[in-house]
Amino acid sequence: MPAGRPRTPSEIRKLTGTHLERLNKREPKYRRADAVRIPKRVETEPYALELWDEIVPELVANGLLTYANQGLCADICVAHAMMMKALDDTVERGQIVEEPIVNKAGDQVGVRVKANPAVAQVAQYMAMKCRLMIEFGMTPASSMKVNASPEAEKVDESFDEFTGGSDERGDDKSGAEVN
């Protein structure tokens, strides 16, 4: 394995517009996913399914989900589910837990206070989820590096409809004052 940073895929280079002279002409081209089946490992976990239903339509709309990388998307959802389960345990039992100290006869002689192992698991799964989300440009910093596909440029006008076409200061876009 070569040392240094991992290579940036050609599709990402095209989207970001950087180092176009370094495009790999023989890089595999994967079909974009239009209709994606929910993997069993996501389907059986309520937290994973909730995240799947939230992010997959966005990834498909932006042309970022392919049939080849939908497993990676499922991994994000499973990492999220594991993180949420560990977080639930932390909320239920607290960050500090008591563990009984038992002598050779099996009698409890005291209590040891220690950090809840679920706290470390939350951090571990959160880091894993974040690393995987970066691959899809789903973090604030990584999303700045990717330009969405043309279908994704359709802007949701619901906020403009709600505000009557004015910006946050109350100024109408046409320049007229709004009272």
Query: What is the number of structural domains in the chain?
Result: 1
Contact at 8 Å (CB) between 49 and 43? yes
Range of the structural domain that residue 29 is part of: 10-142
Q: If DSSP codes are grouped into helix, strand and coil, which group holds residue 102?
A: strand
Q: Is residue 22 part of a domain?
A: yes
Q: How remote is the C-alpha of 175 from its chain's centroid?
A: 39
Taking only the tens place, the pLDDT of each residue in 107-161 is 999 999 999 999 999 999 999 999 999 888 888 877 777 666 545 444 455 545 5
User: Which spans in 62-116 are helix H?
Assistant: 70-93
Tell me the pLDDT tens digit for each residue of 59-100.
Answer: 888 888 888 889 999 999 999 999 999 999 999 999 999 999
Supply the pTM of this predicted model: 0.68
Q: Is residue 79 part of a domain?
A: yes
147 within some domain: no
* 3-36 confidence digits (pLDDT tens): 677 767 776 777 777 777 777 777 777 788 877 8
What is the rounded CA–CA span in Å between residue 59 and residue 148?
10
Residue 46 inside a domain? The answer is yes
Q: Evaluate whether 143 touches 118 at the Cβ level (below 8 Å).
A: no
Residue 139: predicted pLDDT: 83
| 9/42 Cα distance (integer angstroms) | 27
Please check whether residue 16 lies inside any domain of the structure: yes
Domain assignment present for 148 = no
Residue 119 included in any domain: yes
Report d(CA 136, CA 68) in Å as an integer: 13
CA distances from 45 to 7, 73, 88, 92 (A): 33, 14, 14, 19
Instruction: Look at residue 157 and tell me if it is in a domain.
Output: no
Task: Please give the angle made by the CA atoms of 41, 47 and 48, to the nearest 5 degrees.
Answer: 35
For residues 136-163, b (16+ Cβ closer than 10 Å) or e, as one string? bbbeeeeeeebebeeeeeeeeeeeeeee
